[in-house]
Structure 1
Amino acid sequence: MSASTLVVDADQEHPRPADRKVVDVAVGILIDASGAYLLTRRPHGKVYAGYWEFPGGKLEAGETVEQALRRELQEEIGVTIGAAELWRQSLVDYPHALVRLHFCKVRDWTGDLQMREGQEFGWERLPVRCAPVLPGTVPVLEWLASDGVGPA
């Protein structure tokens, strides 16, 4: 892990083993023409159910971040993305997993949104109206604000 990697400790009260394997996750920040971005709410039955996040999912063996993002967004929300700009990454230490999030900005996609896992969605601007927000999503909102994406 480099010194420039942001590490978010999602819950300092629960100790974790020091030798946990990192799970890589591709995350899509879909930004529409007006500067609003898509957040989805984790469905019942998942860890952190009810929390809001950017859509995405785990990389499978041999996949690049962009390949995983394309697959996950098609599976989860029914859209086919165009170009995906690998933007930033962070390491989030959740009690259930140590997750390296690869955030990609996506401004081009086709298809209508279909919440295939029963999740809710919303197009947001800063400051976001939805709560609670997943701990790994909080720094991204700060980065978007510093980049001037989706100001209120």
Structure 2
Amino acid sequence: MTHESRTLVVGAAVVRHGLVLAARRRRPAGFWEFPGGKCEPGEEAVAALHRELAEELGLSVELGCEVVPDDGGTWPISAELHLRVWLARPLGVPSPGPDHDQLRWLRPADLGSVQWLPADVPIAARIADLLEDR
């Protein structure tokens, strides 16, 4: 499957006062993620991220830099899905919507304390490294 034929998923590492937002999914139950979702056909990645955060958390954000893997590409989720993630500053207070049952603000050093979706594990590690360097 080519990169272009895979569906793009977008996510945000929302950072407030040095803490990172983790959202616990209802399904699969108990797994944590960086909030976001799939791009609609023809939708630009940044527009999709803003839409998804508004839908999922009632949240507007100011985007910062993109968090990229070592190869400079996208983060793999599966053969059908790949992920792009940005650091973001919240412009308001998030609240869990229909996809999440809990939100938690974590120190970068504590990002490993929750059970992330498998695709988000290396992203959490990268974000911890980025934020601890600041």
TM over 0.5: yes
Long gaps (5+) in structure 2: 69-73
Kindly report the root-mean-square deviation, in angstroms, between the aligned alpha carbons of the 2 structures: 2.3
User: Which runs of structure 2 are paired with 1:47-86 in the superposition (5 Å)?
Assistant: 48-86=28-66
> Deviations 1:3-58 (Å, cap 9, x if unpaired)?
xxxxxxxxxxxxxxx68x5221110110112x110000011xx3x22101110000
| Residue 83 (structure 2) pairs with residue 101 (structure 1) | yes
What secondary structure is seen at the aligned counterpart in 2 of 1:141?
helix
User: Which runs of structure 2 are paired with 1:98-137 in the superposition (5 Å)?
Assistant: 98-107=80-89, 109-117=90-98, 118-125=100-107, 126-128=109-111, 130-137=113-120
Superposition deviation, residue 71 in structure 1: 0.2
> Deviations 1:33-91 (Å, cap 9, x if unpaired)?
2x110000011xx3x22101110000012211110010000000011112343232311
| Residue 25 (structure 2) pairs with residue 42 (structure 1) | yes
Contact conserved, 1:77 with 1:114, CA < 8 A, in 2?
A: yes
Q: Looking at CA atoms only, which structure, 1 or 2, has the larger radius of gyration?
A: 1
Q: So what's the TM-score if we normalise by structure 2?
A: 0.81
- The structure in which a higher percent of residues are helix is 2
* Residues 127 and 64 (structure 1), Cα distance of their counterparts in 2 relative to 1, 3 Å cut: same
Q: So what's the TM-score if we normalise by structure 1?
A: 0.72
| Percent of residue pairs identical | 29
The match for 1:24 among 8, 16, 21 is 8
Long gaps (5+) in structure 1: 1-17
Aligned residues: 125
Superposition deviation, residue 140 in structure 1: 1.0
